[in-house]
Amino acid sequence: MSNSRAAIRYAKATLDYAVEQKVADKVDTDMRKIAETISDHPELQQLLTSPIVKNEVKKNSLSAIFKGSNEITLGLVNTLADNKRIDLLQEVAYKYIIQYEKMKGEDTAVVTTAVPLTPALEKKVLSKVKELTGNKVSLENKIDESIVGGFILRVGDLQYDASVANKLNTIKREFTNSL
């Protein structure tokens, strides 16, 4: 929880400074690249969370990986490294994206399903989420076969889990608690 609060504070400060400098779009692009890169490379996640690797090595690695990014983005990386909070980088990037979209009156809904959504179903989900949030919504469909069936809908910090895997786990917990 405290990590989430810290990530929100770093993201908000970065967004405020980016808006002030009129480069919020560029920083948003950088944050999306950071979030995607860290998500796609588990070895980079391990590097960032490792207590053995020195902060200077982490800082230099990230500066090399994200070379060409906006100076505000690189400043965020340096600040996180200097404050020994570099392990929050991915979460800060996600929080920045969410806050930037809210500032623009947009939301991104992430729907995790076991199989790809059909265009008709995608349209229904989009209209329902737009109705619920009142904002312009874009939809991202992630495929995760481990949820077996159903879906997990995430809009900003809200999540609705209607997956079969979640329901099975709930039944399992109830069954073991009743013994």
**More confident position, 157 or 64:** 64
Task: Please classify residue 156 by burial: count the beta carbons closer than 10 Å to its beta carbon, then call 0-12 exposed, 13-18 middle and 19+ buried.
Answer: middle
What is the chain's length?
179
Reply yes or no on whether the pLDDT at 18 is more than 90.
yes
Structure tokens at 88: 């929050």
Tens digits of residue pLDDT in 72-98: 999 999 999 999 999 999 999 999 998
Helices 89-103 and 42-49 sit at what angle, rounded to 10 degrees? 110
As a whole number, mean pLDDT of residues 91-107 equals 87
pTM (global) more than 0.85? no
pLDDT of residue 25: 94
- The band of 1, judged by pLDDT with boundaries at 50, 70 and 90, is very low
As a whole number, mean pLDDT of residues 13-40 equals 94
Q: Which domains does the chain have, with CATH numbers?
A: 2-101 (1.10.520.20), 106-178 (3.40.30)
As a whole number, mean pLDDT of residues 43-49 equals 91
- The band of 3, judged by pLDDT with boundaries at 50, 70 and 90, is low
